[in-house]
Amino acid sequence: MEFGTMFSNLFGKEKAKEEQKSQWIKCPKCTSLMYYKEVEAIQNVCPKCNHHFRINADKRIASIADEGSFVEHDERLAPVDPLKFSDKKSYKKRLEEAKAKTGKTSSVVSGSCTVNNNPAELVVFDFAFMGGSLGSVEGEKIVRAVDRAIEKGCGVIIVSASGGARMQESTYALLQMSKTSAALKRLDHKGLPFISILTDPTMGGVSASFAMLGDIIIAEPGALIGFAGQRVIKQTVGVDLPEGFQRSEFLLEHGLIDMVVDRGSIKQTVADMLTLFSDEKQPDLAVFDSGEHTEAAESEES
Ligand SMILES: [Zn+2]
């Protein structure tokens, strides 16, 4: 296919360019200069100051799923441009650029996997694809992952890295907030766990919907988490805001999230949670199967 060839050429060139310039990296927090391969080998965390670099969807999946267990679903779902939206560039053009840059068709990769042998549905955001924004395809992929989890009786893990709802899809993007939240309620009715992992950054419509609905909410150290940006809040409320008020550690201290976990320990933590919830859910399931919860779930869908 012509487009396929063009796409792989673009991606190949981009990759070679990337490799050349990425031999050395500078930590934005402690300014240490480090050999990229060495940092990559320790899950892209600065060995000097524990700064967690942003990572792409593939690396994220590799850091959580058991090796070789991840089976991607819905990879052919790609955004359309229902509003024929254009700002400085057309949405169509932005999508093409994002595809060439990341090799993905949307900002979300979803699939089935095991985590230390616990089955789960895993959804990860790739911030490099249009700022990890939530559009109609991303919302649909999340809902389908939840539906698969309900069918299989397993938990859902969503790793967020997003600036929020995708403005190029306007209301279609905003609708995904309620659509994903409703799907997670159905999961809840089945007594199945949702583990939400917040990484740098988790903002806007993503933090204002599914990302904050986890049975357990885990954040990586130092991640920027909030709804509006600091400048906007300051202009609105007219007071100086506390230092680091939108970072993981501050949010943990103030009870908005459950734990801050280093990237290297997230897999084990998630596996422990899945085991814990799967042991707990057994007696509850009998109750859910026989009564009102099922009805409630059905009426919600209609
Ligand atoms: Zn550092």
State pLDDT tens for residues 169-220. 999 999 999 999 999 999 999 999 999 999 999 999 999 999 999 999 999 9
- Residue 96, domain CATH: 3.90.226.10
Side chain identity, residue 10 = L
Provide the pLDDT confidence category of residue 149 given band limits of 50, 70 and 90: very high
Q: Is residue 219 part of a domain?
A: yes
| Cα(206) to centroid(ligand 1), Å | 28
The answer on 71 and 43 residing in a single domain is no
The answer on 6 and 70 residing in a single domain is no
Provide the pLDDT confidence category of residue 278 given band limits of 50, 70 and 90: confident
The arithmetic mean of pLDDT across residues 226-251, rounded, is 94
| Cα(39) to centroid(ligand 1), Å | 10
Strands 118-125 and 108-115 come out as antiparallel
Last residue of a domain, one of 17, 32, 53: 53
| Cα(196) to centroid(ligand 1), Å | 26
pLDDT reading at 102 higher than 70: yes
Task: Give the structural domain span for 46.
Answer: 1-53
Structure tokens at 112: 């089935």
Domain total of the chain: 2
pLDDT score recorded for residue 8: 58
Instruction: Judge contact between 274 and 115, C-beta under 8 A.
Output: yes
Q: Is residue 302 part of a domain?
A: no
| Cα(33) to centroid(ligand 1), Å | 9
| Closest to 161 (Cα-Cα) out of 193, 218, 118, 206 | 206
Give the model confidence (pLDDT) of 33-91 as tens digits.
999 999 999 999 999 999 999 999 999 999 999 999 999 999 999 999 999 999 999 99
The arithmetic mean of pLDDT across residues 207-236, rounded, is 96
Cβ neighbour number for residue 105 with a 10 Å cutoff: 18
The answer on 18 and 130 residing in a single domain is no
pLDDT score recorded for residue 161: 98
Instruction: Judge contact between 281 and 192, C-beta under 8 A.
Output: yes
| Cα(51) to centroid(ligand 1), Å | 5
| Closest to 196 (Cα-Cα) out of 256, 242, 246, 140 | 256
Instruction: Judge contact between 241 and 234, C-beta under 8 A.
Output: yes
| Cα(214) to centroid(ligand 1), Å | 30
Q: Is residue 295 part of a domain?
A: no
The arithmetic mean of pLDDT across residues 248-273, rounded, is 98
| Cα(48) to centroid(ligand 1), Å | 5
Long-range contacts, stretch 245-249, CB < 8 angstroms, 24+ apart = 247/222, 247/223, 248/198, 248/219, 248/220, 248/221, 248/222, 248/223, 249/221, 249/222
